[in-house]
Amino acid sequence: MATDRRARWRERSALVRALRLLSNRHPETFTEKVRYKMLRDRRPLLTTFADKAAVRDYVADRIGAAFLPVAFGILDDPVDLLGLDLPNRYVVKPTHGSGAGIVVSPSAPADAELPPAEWSWVYRHVRPDTAPREQLVAIAQNWASKLYGRGPNQEWAYGGVPPRVIVEEMLEGASGSIPDDFKFFVFHGTCQYVQVDSGRFDSRTQDFYLPDWSHLPMSGGPAWIDPPRARPSRLDEMIALAETLGTGTDFVRVDLYHLPDRVVFGELTNYPAGGDSPFDPESFNAEFGSHWTVPRRYR
């Protein structure tokens, strides 16, 4: 109990915030600049980016609604999940956070199960017969009860997002599996790096590339894909879309999916890894940060 009180004091103390601001006045590396942004950038645009429902309007306005996944429902009350007419493939996510989602499809492992509602801020891929609506409602109600982004640096943008539930189409890659996740690091409207994550529910891999598809000799934790990945046929289109979505801000990570027949929007990320992105070797932390000029004051 005493530990909890100390943790709450650290989060709410004006003195602690002032010390963080003081110590982060001159950021140089990528992670330092993410934390700088977390502490100082209070533009409403960031809340729009963080809101998985509101960002759909932003994307439709910038690049067109054709790039959005089909939404079967955006629900203020999780109980409304009970009445949705859904196919046998769909995704349920909270709108006010990251790192949680339930993918429902017949291609899920036979032994996969839904998490208990109280421990449901995770990704899980399950079959329709193991995803009763009542349990999904309980999970979504637990999500709605959570405040997201309350770590040491405070992910401010999530604080203004109403907790809702979004139900979208399940996207499928060429083999019918969960598609690769392409993450474009856009600094001042220009894409400088591309991260590709594969195998979220299986053997996860992660690779980093330059926009010309040169593979970077760095790791963010997971192993590199083997054999190497071929240059995506829609890479130039994805870079152009990412740069259009990232125009008008100093940095945002644009997540897209490369499907056999189209490119689909994933999300816009203000604070990758909450300012704790791992870089191995560490020199890439400074290299990523070199493309980002943070303003003295956000307006």
234 shares its domain with 277: yes
161 shares its domain with 190: no
Residue 298 lies in a domain: yes
Residue 13 lies in a domain: no
212 shares its domain with 157: no
3-class secondary structure, 242: helix
Distance from C-alpha of 55 to C-alpha of 47, rounded to nearest angstrom:
9
75 shares its domain with 135: yes
Please give the pLDDT value at position 1.
Answer: 39
Residue 55 lies in a domain: no
Last residue of one domain, picked from the residues 121, 155, 170: 170
Q: Which of 146, 171, 27, 46 is nearest to 96 (CA)?
A: 146
Distance from C-alpha of 50 to C-alpha of 288, rounded to nearest angstrom:
22
Please give the pLDDT value at position 26.
Answer: 81
pLDDT in tens, the chain (299 residues): 343 444 444 445 566 666 666 656 689 999 999 999 999 999 999 999 999 999 999 999 999 999 999 999 999 999 999 999 999 999 999 999 999 999 999 999 999 999 999 999 999 999 999 999 999 999 999 999 998 887 555 899 999 999 999 999 999 987 777 899 999 999 999 999 999 999 877 789 999 999 999 999 999 999 999 999 999 999 999 999 999 999 999 999 999 999 999 999 999 999 999 999 999 999 999 999 999 999 999 98
Please give the pLDDT value at position 7.
Answer: 41
153 shares its domain with 195: no
298 shares its domain with 180: yes
Please give the pLDDT value at position 4.
Answer: 40
Please give the pLDDT value at position 23.
Answer: 59
Q: Which of 255, 230, 231, 251 is nearest to 241 (CA)?
A: 255
Distance from C-alpha of 219 to C-alpha of 134, rounded to nearest angstrom:
40
144 shares its domain with 215: no
Please give the pLDDT value at position 200.
Answer: 78
Distance from C-alpha of 269 to C-alpha of 50, rounded to nearest angstrom:
7
Residue 241 lies in a domain: yes
181 shares its domain with 274: yes
Distance from C-alpha of 178 to C-alpha of 123, rounded to nearest angstrom:
12
Distance from C-alpha of 12 to C-alpha of 133, rounded to nearest angstrom:
38
| CATH assignment of the domain containing 263 | 3.30.470
Please give the pLDDT value at position 6.
Answer: 41
Residue 212 lies in a domain: yes
Residue 51 lies in a domain: no
Answer yes or no: are the C-beta atoms of 261 and 182 closer than 8 Å.
no
Last residue of one domain, picked from the residues 125, 141, 170: 170
113-141: b (≥16 Cβ within 10 Å) or e: ebbebeebbeebbbbeebbeeebbbbbbb
Crossing angle of helices 2-12 and 14-23, in 10° steps, is 60
166 shares its domain with 182: no
Domain extent at residue 36: 23-40+176-299
> Residue 228 CA to chain centroid, in angstroms?
24
| CA triple 63-69-72, angle to 5 deg | 130
Residue 1 lies in a domain: no
186 shares its domain with 290: yes
Number of separate domains in the chain: 2
The length of the chain is 299
Last residue of one domain, picked from the residues 122, 146, 170: 170
Distance from C-alpha of 112 to C-alpha of 106, rounded to nearest angstrom:
11
Does the pTM of the predicted model rise above 0.75? Answer: yes
Cβ neighbours of residue 86 under 8 Å, at least 6 residues apart? 72, 167
Residue 270 lies in a domain: yes
107 shares its domain with 195: no
203 shares its domain with 296: yes
